[in-house]
Amino acid sequence: MPLYFFRISHGRYTGASDQGSEFESREAAWSEMTKVCGNLLGSLSRSLKQNAEWQMELLDEAKKPVFRIRLVAESVR
């Protein structure tokens, strides 16, 4: 089974998991990523500053991005 890693970026902070997770397919990896992201977004959105960005990526075994979910807070005026 393919090995995947999670990476979170917020402002100047970027951190990737050292321990990989195995998923049967890309679809299974995507499903798990959306569950993890959904669990984190409630608390993140309450503390997100204006004009900030938070993102979670799922990396393959070579640590290359496969999927990315971004939360962007933009001031439009």
Domain extents in the chain: 3-73
Which pLDDT belongs to residue 48?
Answer: 81
H or E segment and range at residue 30:
helix 26-47
Which residue, 4, 8, 3, 5, is CA-closest to 71? 8
Note the pLDDT of residue 1: 84
Distance CA 51, CA 46 (A): 14
pLDDT at residue number 17: 80
Instruction: Quote the CA–CA distance of 41 and 76 in Å, as a whole number.
Output: 22
In order of 31, 59, 73, 76, the CA distances from 16 in angstroms are 19, 9, 22, 31
Which residue positions in the chain have pLDDT lower than 70?
none
